[in-house]
């Protein structure tokens, strides 16, 4: 994120991290069993969510998990390419036709968790049953808040780039409903901080 907490500009531009941090993220991906994003990130960035910036083998790619209540993931997007397996969590409101399109030709496994939106606790149970013990959450801001609010985040690692974006409508690291009073804010314990290229990396434990 930028120094003022933005993960993208108000027009969606999100080229923030330096090259050193991109390599850090891919090394971290390589250590994970799964990597998770929300549908808004998929639609905005069309990410691959694979380990491709460092030396790796196909089996180093974690399971790609998309929280997509209404099955809006476009079947032609890179998240469904054959480079790594993909699981898409939808709700009961997802169209059966859209689910079928996502499952076609083995593009993705689709599971239903929740009525009107994805029940994150249900999803975590399903992932645990599949042997996913370490899960890396790469946002976006709405899913970040939802996961924190559900008590499903153990650790936060933030890269702060030396830039300021501003913009009332620009996405921050955590959006969502938010808390009404600071006494209700999520509390963190600083574990580690260090410079990486021009960026600052901060690692927290969630209390």
Asked if residue 13 is part of any domain, the answer here is: no
CB 88 within 8 A of CB 68: yes
User: Based on the structure, what is the number of domains in the chain?
Assistant: 1
pLDDT above 90: percentage of residues in the chain: 99
Asked if residue 9 is part of any domain, the answer here is: no
The CA distance from 156 to 188, in Å, is 9
- The CATH number that applies at residue 194 is 3.40.430.10
Asked if residue 85 is part of any domain, the answer here is: yes
E strand or H helix at 164: none
pLDDT for residue 124: 98
Q: Is the pLDDT of residue 83 over 90?
A: yes
Q: Is the pLDDT of residue 109 over 90?
A: yes
Query: For residue range 19-46, what is the model confidence (pLDDT) as tens digits?
Result: 999 999 999 999 999 999 999 999 999 9
Q: Which residues contact 26 (CB under 8 A, 6 or more apart)?
A: 51, 52, 53, 54, 56
**HEC states along 72-92?**
CCCCCCHHHCCCCCEEEEECC
CA 5 from centroid of its chain's CA atoms: 16
Mean pLDDT of the chain: 96
Per 3-state DSSP, what percentage of the chain is helix, strand, and coil (rounded to 5)? 30, 25, 50
> Quick one: average pLDDT of 167-176?
96
> Quick one: average pLDDT of 68-81?
97
Asked if residue 8 is part of any domain, the answer here is: no
Asked if residue 10 is part of any domain, the answer here is: no
Residue 29, domain extent: 19-206
Reported confidence tier of residue 139, pLDDT bands at 50, 70, 90: confident
> Quick one: average pLDDT of 106-134?
97
> Quick one: average pLDDT of 63-68?
98
Rounded to 5 degrees, φ, ψ at 38 are -95, 170
> What pTM value is reported for the model?
0.95
Asked if residue 1 is part of any domain, the answer here is: no
pLDDT for residue 159: 97
Q: Is the pLDDT of residue 146 over 90?
A: yes
The CA distance from 69 to 88, in Å, is 9
Q: What angle do CA 183, 40, 59 make, to 5 degrees?
A: 100
Asked if residue 14 is part of any domain, the answer here is: no
> Quick one: average pLDDT of 63-76?
97
Q: What angle do CA 36, 186, 112 make, to 5 degrees?
A: 35
> Quick one: average pLDDT of 177-185?
96
Reported confidence tier of residue 81, pLDDT bands at 50, 70, 90: very high
Asked if residue 130 is part of any domain, the answer here is: yes
């Amino acid at each position: 994120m930028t120094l003022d907490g933005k993960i993208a500009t108000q027009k969606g531009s999100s080229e923030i991290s330096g090259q050193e941090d991109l390599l850090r993220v891919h090394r971290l991906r390589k250590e994970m069993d799964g990597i998770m994003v929300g549908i808004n990130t998929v639609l905005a960035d069309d990410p691959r969510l694979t380990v491709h910036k460092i030396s790796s083998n196909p089996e180093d790619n974690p399971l790609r998990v998309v929280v997509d209540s209404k099955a809006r993931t476009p079947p032609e997007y890179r998240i469904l390419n054959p480079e790594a397996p993909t699981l898409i969590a939808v709700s009961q409101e997802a169209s059966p036709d859209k689910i079928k399109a996502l499952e076609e030709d083995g593009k993705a496994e689709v599971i239903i968790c929740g009525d009107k939106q994805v029940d994150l606790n249900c999803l975590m149970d399903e992932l645990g049953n599949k042997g996913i013990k370490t899960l890396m959450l790469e946002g976006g801001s709405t899913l970040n808040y939802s996961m924190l609010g559900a008590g499903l985040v153990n650790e936060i690692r933030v890269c702060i780039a030396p830039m300021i974006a501003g913009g009332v409508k620009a996405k921050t690291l955590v959006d969502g409903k938010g808390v009404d009073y600071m006494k209700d804010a999520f509390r963190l314990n600083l574990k580690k901080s260090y410079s990486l290229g021009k960026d600052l990396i901060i690692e927290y434990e969630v209390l």
